[in-house]
Amino acid sequence: MSQEANMRRVTAIKNGTVIDHVPAGKALSVLKMLGIGGDMSNPVSLVMNVPSKKMGGKDIIKVEDRELTQHELDRLALVAPDASVAIIRAYSVAEKLDINLTDEVVNVARCTFSNCITENPREPLPHRLIVTKRDPLELRCRYCGKTQDIEALVDNLI
Amino acid sequence: MPGLITMDDLTNDEIISILDDAERLLPVARGEIYLPLLQGRILGNLFFEPSTRTRMSFETAMKRLGGDVVNLGDVKTSSVVKGETLFDTIQMVDGYTDIIAMRHPRQGAAQYACDSAKVPILNGGDGAGHHPTQTMLDLFTIRQSHGTLEGLNVVLAGDLRYGRTVHSLSHALVRFGCNVTFASPESLRMPEEIVADLKVHGAEVVETDDLLGQINSADVIYMTRIQKERFPDEDEYAKVAGAYKLQASDLDGAKAEMIIMHPLPRVNEIHPSVDSTRHARYFEQAFNGVVARMALMCRLLGVDVPAAIGTEGGIQ
């Protein structure tokens, strides 16, 4: 299927954010990580499992009237580190944003290990997850050293 | 401030150099020589969960070197019970002391304390995480018996899942080219991420549930306690724990120089009949906690251990 056909699945948006090259099937996790749920009034379009030359299959998300911040992009790096993000203004791509997975993910999510010292919400030091492998993504808590359950991290976003 | 949180905080050369320092400090640890290298220094003993050997040997080590010790005391009567965060406790003790030894039930607590403190932190055990000062005394004991750390066949047995001593020790052994065999019940196997780390270091890791079959080829057998509370019922515990017991008659085919170690306390896993064999080393091992911790505190406080320590009357 052509790229053009992919793009026709959902209409172009006037203003907002397009997140492309999300790993196939991960769009719902991305929405969860961005805190986009039923309580948001912005229109959101979702395309899942469409063919992609680069990835085999991919998901695409279009969020109208909302521009993602760098902090929100940091969150995205945990499930869709290779996604491409475009900010749309007046139907044109105004900015392209890169998701750069840093070597350390700071204050984005809490460690998923139940006996980690950071489990106490009153402990003030930042939550620090070290990227130990990029493909597939593997993170370890700086403090307890436990390898993180990436799916569970979505529930531990700060 | 650098501390000792995991064995990764020390290079192999540093480990050897600290073990050399510890060896020279033996007469000081025995009380034969008074060598106040750490006079005027204060150790903060922060034990948030029970400890006998680790806490006492830290205290002995500091006092043998002329320093002093302040204790957190019983957690139930400290500010911790009022809900104080670890961060705040560390800020306070940091101001009172020159170095902190700490044990905490939460994993990662030592690294967290290290990131919060100005004084060095010595990890005396964090949850099921690491126990590097125990590893240093274990390495000291192995080297004392075998004259080397390299290329030995070491069997770690018992509770490898929750036993933090074996987590730190296995990392160190692999770095010195030891062959490690993990003998444990299926449910108490070494955590996968630790096995994966060891393999990254190039180790060939053997996992088995047969302890007795490993005895004859071993240079070191490191026993750990299997705790009842790890099992759903008493019968299951009794069945499993029974397979991880050593008695003197099991050692007939062992190498003459093979040693048996245990971080203590033991319950039933080493029968008292083993105590009088040439293989038993666990009580010397417990004593070695003093010298290893003396050497570590000197290192972290930047105090050099003299190259020659006399057998009488202090430094030669």
Sorted by where each begins, the domain ranges of chain A are: 3-98, 104-156
List Cβ neighbours of B122 (8 Å cut-off, separation of 6 or more). B3, B4, B58, B99, B100, B101, B102, B133, B293, B296, B297, B300
Residues B118-153 have pLDDT tens digits of 999 999 999 888 999 999 999 999 999 999 999 999
Residues A81-103 have pLDDT tens digits of 889 999 999 999 999 998 878 89
Write down the architecture of domain A104-156 according to CATH.
Roll (2.30)
Q: Looking at the structure, do residues B38 and B103 belong to the same domain, yes or no?
A: yes
Contact criterion met (CB < 8 Å) for B106 and A117? yes
Q: What is the pLDDT of residue B172?
A: 95
Alpha-carbon span B221 to B210, nearest angstrom: 13
Q: What is the pLDDT of residue B21?
A: 97
Q: What is the ipTM of this complex?
A: 0.88
Nearest CA among B47, B85, B109 for reference residue A115: B109
Q: Which amino acid is at B150?
A: E
Has B54 been annotated as catalytic? yes
Q: What is the pLDDT of residue A74?
A: 76
Across the range B287-291, mean pLDDT stands at: 97
Where in the sequence is the domain holding B11, given as residue range(s)? 7-131+288-300
Q: Looking at the structure, do residues B145 and B269 belong to the same domain, yes or no?
A: yes
The answer to whether residue B102 is domain-embedded is yes
Contact criterion met (CB < 8 Å) for B104 and A142? no
Q: Which amino acid is at B225?
A: R
**CB-CB neighbors (< 8 A) of B80 in chain A:** none
Q: Looking at the structure, do residues B293 and B160 belong to the same domain, yes or no?
A: no
Does residue B29 surpass a pLDDT of 90?
yes
Q: Residues 126 to 155 of B: which have CB under 8 A from any A CB? A: 126-130
The answer to whether residue B193 is domain-embedded is yes
Q: What is the band of A79 on the pLDDT scale with cuts at 50, 70, 90?
A: confident
Q: What is the CATH number of the domain that holds B241?
A: 3.40.50.1370
Alpha-carbon span A157 to A76, nearest angstrom: 11
The answer to whether residue B311 is domain-embedded is no
Across the range B10-31, mean pLDDT stands at: 97
Q: Are B301 and B38 in contact (CB under 8 A)?
A: yes
- The percent of residues in chain A predicted with pLDDT above 90, rounded, is 51
Q: Looking at the structure, do residues B157 and B245 belong to the same domain, yes or no?
A: yes
Nearest CA among B297, B300, B246 for reference residue B270: B246
Q: How many structural domains compose chain B?
A: 2
pLDDT higher at B291 or A73 = B291
Q: Looking at the structure, do residues B156 and B198 belong to the same domain, yes or no?
A: yes
- Catalytic residue (choose from B55, B104, B130, B131): B131
Q: Looking at the structure, do residues B16 and B143 belong to the same domain, yes or no?
A: no
The answer to whether residue B314 is domain-embedded is no
By the 10 Å C-beta count (0-12 exposed, 13-18 middle, 19+ buried), A101 is classed as middle
pLDDT higher at B240 or B298 = B298
Across the range B32-48, mean pLDDT stands at: 96
Residues B69-114 have pLDDT tens digits of 999 877 777 777 778 999 999 999 999 999 999 999 999 999 999 9
Has B53 been annotated as catalytic? yes
Has B89 been annotated as catalytic? no
Backbone angles phi, psi at B126, to 5 degrees: -130, 105
The answer to whether residue B119 is domain-embedded is yes
The answer to whether residue B2 is domain-embedded is no
Lowest average pLDDT, out of B4-8, B71-75, B181-185, goes to B71-75
Does residue B232 surpass a pLDDT of 80?
no
Q: What is the pLDDT of residue B197?
A: 85
Across the range B2-6, mean pLDDT stands at: 92
| Ramachandran class of B34: left when φ > 0, alpha when ψ lies in -120 to 50, beta otherwise | beta
- The percent of residues in chain B predicted with pLDDT above 70, rounded, is 97
Contact criterion met (CB < 8 Å) for A123 and B87? yes
Has B143 been annotated as catalytic? no
**Residue ranges in chain A assigned as alpha helix (H):** 3-8, 27-33, 70-76, 150-153
Nearest CA among B196, B266, B260, B284 for reference residue B226: B266
Has B175 been annotated as catalytic? no
Does residue B316 surpass a pLDDT of 60?
no
Does residue A36 surpass a pLDDT of 90?
no
pLDDT higher at B170 or A69 = B170
> Would you call the peptide bond into B272 cis, given omega within 30 degrees of 0 as the criterion?
no
> B112 vs chain A: nearest CA distance in angstroms?
6
Q: What is the mean pLDDT of chain A?
A: 87
| Chosen CATH of A3-98 out of 3.30.413.10, 3.40.190.10, 1.10.10.60, 3.30.70.140 | 3.30.70.140
Q: Looking at the structure, do residues B139 and B280 belong to the same domain, yes or no?
A: yes
Alpha-carbon span B23 to B142, nearest angstrom: 12
| Interface residue of B79, B90, B111, B195 to substitute, partner A, most A CBs within 10 Å | B111
Q: Looking at the structure, do residues B160 and B241 belong to the same domain, yes or no?
A: yes
Q: What is the pLDDT of residue A76?
A: 85
Q: Looking at the structure, do residues B120 and B210 belong to the same domain, yes or no?
A: no
Residues A5-28 have pLDDT tens digits of 655 667 789 999 999 999 999 898
Q: What share of chain A is helix, strand, coil (3-state, %, to 5)?
A: 20, 35, 45
The answer to whether residue B31 is domain-embedded is yes
> A115 vs chain B: nearest CA distance in angstroms?
6
Nearest CA among B238, B224, B19, B213 for reference residue B133: B19
Q: Looking at the structure, do residues B125 and B139 belong to the same domain, yes or no?
A: no
Lowest average pLDDT, out of A131-145, B50-64, B120-134, B228-242, goes to B228-242
Kindly identify which residue of chain B lies nearest to residue A124, measuring between CA atoms. Answer: B87
Kindly identify which residue of chain B lies nearest to residue A113, measuring between CA atoms. Answer: B107
Q: Looking at the structure, do residues B106 and B182 belong to the same domain, yes or no?
A: no
- The CA distances from residue A40 to A17, A36, A43, A44, B198, in Å, are 15, 6, 8, 9, 47
Q: Looking at the structure, do residues B257 and B118 belong to the same domain, yes or no?
A: no
Q: What is the mean pLDDT of chain B?
A: 92
Alpha-carbon span B193 to B4, nearest angstrom: 21
Q: What is the pLDDT of residue A6?
A: 56
Alpha-carbon span B38 to B68, nearest angstrom: 9
Q: What is the pLDDT of residue B291?
A: 98
